[in-house]
Amino acid sequence: MRSQYTRSGVRRAGDDYQDIIALVLLVEWLEHPERYTWVRVEADDFGFLDDVVALRADDVVVAKQVKFSAHPDDVADPYTWDDLLKQQTSAKGKALPSLLSKWGGSFQDLKAAHTRVEASLVSNRRPAADLRNSFAAPGVVDLQRIPDPTVRADIVAQLGGEQSALDFFAAFKFELDQPGLNTLEAAIERRFLNLHGDVRGWKSLKDELRKWVRERNSPLPDGRITLGAVKSAAGWQRLEALPEEFAVPRDFVIPDDQFHRSLLRALKTTVSGCVVLTGPPGIGKSTYISNLYQEFQKAGLHVIRHHYFLSRDDRTPFRYDNLKVAASLMSEIQPIYAGLVSRHPVGSLVPKTYSPGFLTAAANCRNEGVVWLSFWMGLTTSGAMRVRSKN
């Protein structure tokens, strides 16, 4: 039976699998923003535990080495102790270090430089019976569970002694029999989308991760990926504003000064509610409201607005689309109230979360004694305009 992979397909799939393991950690970081300080990929200075490395907020270094199998269900594929202890021979006849001794040596180097280290092998390969039977807990080796004294002695020797072996297995986990490439990617993409990320952001994050893997010291300056870099790559908080400018003539004169002063008092003192301005079409409601908007801006008040109608030649006919309107309003909220992003519940700020996000921002503004007005300007069947005031 022919393999599903081409000659170069296995190598490419292995690279993709390593990327997905990194994405699992990055999405976990989006789910728990306080969990990590930085993440690195292809961290050469971490020896043979360099594929995905992170520093947790509790100062624990997390190091993952990724191994991909193109045929994880083949009877000869599972990891055995022989696979992990096998020493290849160089062209000059010199014995090369085994997988286990490579990981053990890198672990000792990391342990010397960091307070705590949690390392693991992540693979879609399964553990063979001899390896699986040595697990005291899933993926955690207990030397006393290895019945073959020769294998146990070889393990201890390759890891630099019994105490070094005990320290290594106390911090190293075999995360084997993981889902395959397509299954794992679909699962982590769903987690990303559940955080209100979008498909475009997911593709952008994957592309940026490949760049971080490919280019040394990327992202600048030292290759350490920050949460800000992850959010930027994923298009987190990406909101598209609609044009809202409605021309106010330079010679515009307020038609009723007494009414104007009364409205200003009402908007500045009302805790919450709506003010509806009504009148027949064409008498200048939109122009008046736009002028009012400019007045509040000059007075230093927080104002957001949306026009449902700008002009007959308006190039944004989708101004009635509720999600586009929400995204536009939220894009105005962000520079006015930067705290909305940092205090927003976990997940990307998207139009579907507009209502709770708006209320959160409004509540914080009220607590800080800030007046916030939102103008919803649109022609209705009765020619009415609305001005909503929130303190």
Which residues sit opposite 277 in a β-bridge? 385
**Is 252 inside a domain boundary?**
no
* Token pair of 14 as six digits: 């292995």
Same domain, 185 and 290: no
Same domain, 202 and 75: yes
Number of CB atoms found within 10 A of residue 303's CB: 20
Structural domain of residue 144, as residue ranges? 9-233
* Token pair of 211 as six digits: 């760049």
**Is 217 inside a domain boundary?**
yes
Distance separating alpha carbons of residues 126 and 131, to the nearest angstrom:
10
Q: pTM above 0.85? A: no
Dihedral angle computed from the Cα positions of residues 84, 87, 88 and 94, in that order, rounded to the nearest 10 degrees: 160
* Token pair of 127 as six digits: 């553990």
Burial class, 390, CB count within 10 angstroms (exposed 0-12 / middle 13-18 / buried 19+): buried
* Domain-ending residue, one of 182, 201, 233: 233
Distance separating alpha carbons of residues 300 and 115, to the nearest angstrom:
50
Same domain, 210 and 340: no
Name the strand (E) or helix (H) holding 61. Answer: strand 60-67
Is the dihedral angle over the CA atoms 131, 48, 225, 193 positive or is it negative? negative
Domain count of the chain?
2
Same domain, 23 and 130: yes
**Is 244 inside a domain boundary?**
no
The tens-digit pLDDT sequence of the chain (391 residues) is 566 888 889 999 999 999 999 999 999 999 999 999 999 999 999 999 999 999 999 999 999 999 999 999 999 999 999 999 999 888 888 889 999 999 999 999 999 999 899 999 999 999 999 999 999 999 999 999 999 999 999 999 999 999 999 999 999 999 999 999 999 999 999 999 998 888 999 999 999 999 999 999 999 889 999 998 999 899 886 667 777 777 788 888 887 888 888 888 877 777 677 778 877 877 888 888 888 888 888 877 777 788 777 777 777 766 777 777 777 777 777 666 554 444 445 566 666 655 665 666 666 666 655 555 555 555 443 344 455 544 3
Distance separating alpha carbons of residues 39 and 33, to the nearest angstrom:
13
Is the dihedral angle over the CA atoms 324, 329, 333, 335 positive or is it negative? positive
